[in-house]
Amino acid sequence: MVVQELIAAPQSESGQNNVAGIAVTVLWYGFGIALVFAAPPAWILGYLLRPALNQWVHVAVFFAAPTLVFWVLGGPLGLG
């Protein structure tokens, strides 16, 4: 298969490719972490921005807020 040639995933002893299992695990943890840590601030930010009439304010804030949070937390944690 083309997918198996493009993605070099670890193989089990039987020679079976684990791409599907790895993908499900990444999605499961990614969505789980996003629901726990990203959804509550997004709901609060959305509630606070509800009175803003200009929709581009929402777009700018929802871009800037996660960028700033990652920048503030990523520096001390050594993520970039």
**Domains in the chain: boundaries:** 1-48, 54-80
Q: Does residue 34 surpass a pLDDT of 80?
A: no
Average pLDDT of every residue of the chain? 76
8: confidence class by pLDDT, cuts 50, 70, 90: low
Which two tokens mark 23? 């993908």
pTM of structure: 0.51
Number of Cβ within a 10 Å radius of residue 32? 10
Of residues 12 and 79, which shows the higher confidence score?
Answer: 79
Contact 79, 70 (CB under 8 A): yes
Q: What is the mean pLDDT of residues 20-40?
A: 79
